[in-house]
């Protein structure tokens, strides 16, 4: 924050340079200006959505497919980690290139579209699973807060530390609200179970047998039965790690070829 020079401490030359930069920012270009923006923002939707979706599938696979996998112990940890990676990478790219606090929101808006289109056409229309069983989580609100934090702190370290924990909490809380109806107790097959369990048994998954589910099983240390809050703390830590994996991708893997290109010209 000290690095934004105030008018008082700036030298005359520095002040002059910043005025020139201001003119540069407001300069008008005839052709590439808006056309480039439209082409870029639209084509990037597919690439970013694809990257985010693959990363989520890779790490969080079934946790994001079925309501009966969205448990108190593993779901908050796995999804927080899996979903922050690409938003973090895009935060780096869009902040460094344009000072846009939009990388996370952009990624999550794209992912939202891709997830719902995938669930609707592939899982609901083609496979005929009811959407209320296979709905995707939404990370958009968490992304808004993550971008807001970057804008306010202008620091990737602070964003990772505060933002990682906030991310884990926001992703979980925002999606736990619509999950609540599916955690209502019901009686099915002579057992008390949640509505989501009934969905998991009823809507047959021949190739995803029940034992593949990683859900809270209960243990001696039950933390008064409130496993999820312990998981959220752990999920926050995992999200910080995920954030830095994303930073690595953003800083070295994604931008590196562009840097090479710029150096050549």
Partner 1 sequence: MRLRFAAGLTAAVLIILCGARGAWAHGEAADEPFLKDLTVAFFNVHISPTVIKVGDPVTITGSLKILETWPYTLDPPATAYITPVVPGPVFVLADRTVNGEPDMGSIFVEKGGVYNFNMVMRGRNPGRWHVHPGIAIQGTGTLIGPGEWVTVEPSATPFRFDVSLLDGQKVNLEHYGGAFVWWWSLAGFIIGVIWMLYWTVPKRTVTRLAVTIQLPINDDAPDIGLITPRDHFWMSVLAGITVAMMVGGWVYMAAKFPVRLPQQTDRFEPVSAAPGVNLATVRGTGATYDEKTSTLILNTQIKNISDMPLTLTEYSMAMTTFVNGDAAAIAQAGPADYTGKLDVEPNTPIAPGETRAVKLTMSGDVFNDERLIPLHDPQQLIAGLVHFQGERRKYDLVTVKSVLIPTEFQPQYLP
Provide the minimum distance between the beta carbon of 116 and partner 1 in the complex, in angstroms, as a whole number. 8
CB of 212 to partner 1, least distance (A): 8
CA atoms within 13 A on the CB side of 14: 9
User: DSSP class of residue 183?
Assistant: G
- Closest approach, Cβ 254 to partner 1, in A, equals 15
Burial class of residue 205, CB neighbours in 10 A (0-12, 13-18, 19+): middle
Q: Minimal CA–CA distance to 83: which of 215, 234, 242?
A: 242
Query: Least CB distance from residue 203 to partner 1, whole Å?
Result: 4
* Three-state SS at 193: strand
Closest CB to partner 1 among 213 and 230? 213
Nearer to partner 1, 59 or 120 (CB): 120
Q: Measured in whole angstroms, how far is the alpha carbon of residue 37 from the centre of its chain?
A: 23
Dist. CA 262–CA 257, nearest whole Å: 9
Sole residue written with tokens 């579209």 = 113
Kindly report the CA angle at 104 between 52 and 246, in degrees rounded to 5? 60
Q: How far is the CB of 113 from partner 1 (least distance, A)?
A: 8
* Cβ-based nearer residue to partner 1, 210 or 253: 210
CB of 119 to partner 1, least distance (A): 11
Backbone φ and ψ for 126, nearest 5 degrees, come out as: -80, -45
Residue 19, C-beta contacts closer than 8 angstroms, at least 6 positions apart:
none
Closer residue to partner 1 in complex, CB, 190/260: 190
């Amino acid at each position: 924050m000290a690095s934004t020079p105030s008018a008082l401490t700036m030298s005359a030359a520095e002040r002059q340079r910043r005025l020139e930069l201001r003119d540069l920012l407001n300069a008008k270009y005839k052709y590439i200006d808006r056309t480039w923006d439209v082409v870029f923002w639209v084509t990037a939707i597919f690439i970013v959505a694809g990257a985010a979706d693959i990363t989520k599938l890779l790490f969080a696979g079934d946790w994001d497919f079925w309501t009966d996998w969205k448990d108190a112990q593993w779901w908050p940890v796995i999804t927080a980690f899996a979903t922050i990676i690409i938003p973090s990478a895009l935060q780096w790219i869009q902040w460094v290139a344009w000072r846009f606090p939009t990388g996370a929101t952009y990624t999550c808006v794209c992912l939202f579209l891709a997830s719902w289109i995938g669930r609707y056409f592939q899982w609901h229309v083609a496979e005929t699973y009811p959407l209320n069983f296979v709905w995707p989580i939404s990370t958009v609100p968490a992304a808004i807060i993550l971008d807001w934090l970057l804008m306010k702190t202008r620091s990737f370290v602070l964003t990772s530390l505060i933002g990682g924990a906030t991310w884990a909490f926001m992703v979980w809380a925002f999606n736990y609200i619509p999950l609540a109806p599916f955690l209502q107790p019901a009686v099915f097959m002579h057992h008390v179970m949640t509505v989501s369990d009934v969905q998991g048994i009823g809507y047959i998954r021949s190739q995803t047998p029940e034992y593949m589910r990683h859900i809270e099983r209960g243990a001696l240390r039950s933390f008064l039965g409130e496993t999820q809050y312990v998981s959220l703390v752990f999920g926050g830590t995992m999200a910080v790690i995920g954030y830095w994996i994303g930073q690595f991708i953003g800083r070295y893997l994604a931008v590196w070829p562009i840097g090479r290109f710029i150096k050549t010209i």
